[in-house]
Homo-oligomer: A and B are copies of this chain.
Amino acid sequence: MSPTRPLRLLAISGSLRAKSANTSVLLALQAQASAEVTVTLFRDLAELPHFNPDLDVAPVPAAVTAWRKAVESADALVFSSPEYAHGVPGSLKNALDWLVSHEAFSNKPVAIINARPGAEHALASLRETLTVMNARLLDAACVTLPLTSNALDAPALLLLPAVRGQLEAVLVALRGLAEH
């Protein structure tokens, strides 16, 4: 990639809640990013139709095109997702289902910010899916935050040194992409 433009990260929250802890984590990452990194939150997962191979023919639904373009134009993806019933939220998995075998996704660098300890089933399942989709999981950019509450918004999260430290580690690892 060109050294003259910022690194473009697309942040994807697995929760559609207005006050989602996962979305807050991604907004905190956005606030903490320096000038060389832009973090864009993708807010339209709920606009995607349910994946159906019969619909995956030209012209594909507009929301699918928008999602694929957002992924395509990002240098890396950053996920943060809750666990629902020991699995990945259906809405997040549905978004991934629309990217299976899509060339924009192959070898795409990916970070995962797990908001809290536990939730290991969904995390393992998400990693398995991303791996089989040929994403490039950046282990140094995959962290688990020590949150025990859903109540903190992005500014409150950034007051916690442990959270700031982990988010900085994610950004450092992702900035490494620009140097190769």
Residues on B with beta carbons closer than 8 Å to the beta carbon of A96: 85, 87, 90
Is A51 within 8 A of B87, CB to CB? no
Of A31-39, A125-133, A141-149, A168-176, the segment with at least 4 beta carbons within 8 Å of chain B is A125-133
Residues on B with beta carbons closer than 8 Å to the beta carbon of A50: 16, 45-46, 48, 90-91, 94
Chain A interface bracket (under 10, 10 to 19, 20 to 34, 35 or more): 35 or more
Is A129 within 8 A of B87, CB to CB? yes
Closest 9 A-B residue pairs measured CB to CB?
A90-B94, A90-B93, A50-B91, A16-B52, A46-B50, A86-B132, A85-B129, A87-B129, A90-B90
Residue A76 CB within 8 A of the other chain = no
Is A100 within 8 A of B84, CB to CB? yes
Residues on B with beta carbons closer than 8 Å to the beta carbon of A180: none
Q: How far is the CA of A101 from the CA of B108 in the complex (A)?
A: 36
- A/B interface sample: 30 pairs, CB < 8 A: A17-B52, A18-B54, A45-B50, A46-B49, A50-B91, A50-B94, A51-B84, A51-B90, A51-B91, A52-B91, A84-B93, A85-B97, A85-B129, A85-B132, A85-B133, A86-B129, A87-B88, A87-B125, A87-B128, A87-B129, A88-B90, A89-B94, A89-B97, A90-B91, A90-B93, A90-B94, A90-B96, A91-B94, A93-B93, A94-B94
The proximity string for A residues 74-88 relative to B, scoring 1 for CB distances below 8 Å and 0 otherwise, is 000000000011111
Residue A95 CB within 8 A of the other chain = yes
Q: How far is the CA of A54 from the CA of B17 in the complex (A)?
A: 6
Residue A161 CB within 8 A of the other chain = no
Residue A12 CB within 8 A of the other chain = no
